[in-house]
Amino acid sequence: MGALHEGHLSLIDRARESGYAPVMVSVFVNPAQFNDPEDLRRYPRDPERDAAMCGERGADVVYIPGSAEDVYPEGVDAPFSGALPPVATQPGLEDAYRPGHFAGVCRVGTRLFELARPAAATFGEKDWQQYQTARQLIAAERLPVQIIPGPTVREPHGLAMSSRNELLSKDGRAHAGQIKAAMDAANEVGHPATAERLGRDRLQDAGFDVEYFVVRDAETLLAPEPGRAMRVLVAAVLEGIRLIDNDTFGD
């Protein structure tokens, strides 16, 4: 959605490494996936810098719509016409804290697939619920698009790279590395329920407003089941900035 950083640029690398060409990057602050108008207003934007960074990294095409109407000729407020995947409605994570968010994600995703008709699309694992939503949407709609995941890229102190990091103070940005430290500590516990309590308590003690710190099934994002891969997922607020992160659990 713009204000590109190394995490975004690594997805260009992933596309090229996978053998797909040409590589196209879309940069679009999608109003349909914001439930908070103030969050949309202050979301960082620098399209000229973004386009230059994409070109330097090896993108062949950069698509930056001139307006939301270019993407949504039927109007920004028109509803998503498809069915949302279960992972976008059932876990009680981003779907609960950001009502309407995944309808906007699915709407812009299907629209961009329609416009570009890609053979593959890269999605960062930092937005894990969004990544799983894209996978399920493509499967349900039987779209001929391969999803290529990109590992989370982190800052030196452990904070997952995000455009929203730019809104943190210098000290806050360094302190936000406590999210990764809390996930690492929870992973050492092993037991999901105990890990959840430990992680939440650790972040609250560090001054975060914790929305959720949970261990879930890595694919469905529902309660973990024996023998299936698990994921720890976190959403917490620091200095008024909402941060999300996730990592493997129990590996």
Cα(124)–Cα(25) distance, integer angstroms: 13
Cα(207)–Cα(69) distance, integer angstroms: 41
Instruction: Exactly one of 8, 101, 175, 191 is catalytic; name it.
Output: 8
Active site residue 8: yes
Cα(109)–Cα(116) distance, integer angstroms: 11
Q: How many CB atoms lie within 10 A of CB 6?
A: 13
8-state DSSP, 45: -
**Do strands 61-63 and 120-124 pair parallel, antiparallel, or not at all (unpaired)?**
unpaired
Cα(2)–Cα(8) distance, integer angstroms: 9
Among 59, 71, 93, 84, residue whose Cα is nearest residue 196: 93
Q: How many CB atoms lie within 10 A of CB 9?
A: 20
What amino acid positions are annotated as catalytic residues?
8
